[in-house]
Amino acid sequence: MCDILLVSVQPNLDILGLKGIHQFLREKSYDSVLLYLPVYLSYINNSKQHIKDFLIKECPPVVGISLTSEDFETAEHFTKLVREVLPNSFVIWGGIEPTTEPERCAKVADFVCLGEGEYTLLDFLNIVKNGGGKYELEKVNNLAYFSDDGEFHKNPLNPLLTDLDSLPPLRQIPERSYVDVGNKIESVEIKHLMRYKRYRGQVYKIMTSRGCPYGCAYCCNRFLRNLYGKWPIRQRSVEHVMKELELAMKEGPPILYVDIIDDCFFASDMEYIKEFCEQYKKRIGLPFIAKTTAREVSDERMSLLVDAGMTWANMGLQSGSDRTCLEIYKRPTKSETFIKAAKIISKYPVGVYYDIILDNPFETREDLLNTATTLANTPGPFMPLFFSLRFYPGTELRKKAIEEKIIDDNYLKYEDI
């Protein structure tokens, strides 16, 4: 019997957060088992006997499920399966969907975890290990739940993690990790990474930090800042990052690119960037991609990063309308700042793609023309990436859209995604 089963219901193996929690709990001497369900939705109404057998074999007293809003249906279905097979096990949901909509999620799960989950799950398992019951578990920080009398509760939050080096570097294939391939559960191997990760596992995604310097109205970072009262950038040491990348190069498929998926890697201070570039060039040597906003772009940063191997940069425009960015998106970047940054980037031998949000019902024809004008004035070559605006749970823009009756509160909750 394992101590906890952690389950990803996302349709790929590109998850980072849950894998990190799995390794953290194992480092704390708990027998955590990680299960990926990348194809579960494709046969959701078929027999799940192989999964039932796996649950019976592992018999976890705690099952943790990580999900986004798109994964709600799958998580709900899997939770029902767990209750059928393991009626005495506790089910905890975590991730951005339970964090932003805890009451909705607590109607399905026994508990939901708000925000960062490492120490919440550690405290939870300590209580279970020592024979504690539901009453003791209800006191754990970061948890939300319905009590027996039907009242909804949200507990205080643990402080934000500041020492990210206290967490283990992620592994390509952690111990006790498994994947559902549709008719059986297999131990994760390189072949599974090549099948179920994007780009056949040859683009390695890594986060060097938590937090974001901005709080755009369409993004969960604004919600998290309101939840905690702050949401600062907390950075791993360069050595910690290098160790993870070196492990990834040894353990997984051949890596062609490293994708640094921090919300704004360019926001790192100059001393950090200098050290990162020196160590990355010496020890890793692979081309990499990094994200920025216009306010962080400078010749000094570009020169260092390009020399270290940055071959693609990603910068958000979102809208070429200052009204849209400042008033609707609460994004403190004007079009002239974007064009200035784009001119700096254009001087360097890198590919660049700029994010643009379309289908915004709050924009006028003039706003759309301003975006077209901004793009026309942007030095090329560049790749525009167009996204359709979605009103995700917990975002300020969603509340505005509901208030103005552009959407109703069921948006994204009951549609087929």
pLDDT for 47: 78
pLDDT for 412: 67
pLDDT along the chain (417 residues), means of 10: 97 95 98 97 84 97 96 95 97 97 97 98 97 92 96 97 97 97 96 95 97 94 94 96 97 95 96 98 98 97 98 98 97 96 98 97 97 97 96 94 91 51
**Nearest one of 82, 122, 75, 119 to 96, comparing CA atoms:** 75
d(CA 241, CA 406): 43
The length of the chain, given as a count of residues: 417
d(CA 289, CA 163): 25
DSSP state of 384: E
- Paired tokens of 303: 């020169």
- pTM assigned to the model: 0.94
Beta bridge mates, 145? 153
Phi and psi torsions of 401, nearest 5°: -65, -35
Q: Name, in order, each residue with C-beta under 8 angstroms of 216's C-beta and a sequence gap of 6 or more.
A: 222, 318, 329, 330, 331
pLDDT for 45: 76
- Transcribe 193-228 into DSSP letters: HHHHSGGGGTEEEE--EE--S---TTSHHHHHHHHH
pLDDT for 416: 39
d(CA 199, CA 87): 39
- 199: exposed, middle or buried (Cβ count in 10 Å: 0-12, 13-18, 19+): middle
SS3 139: coil
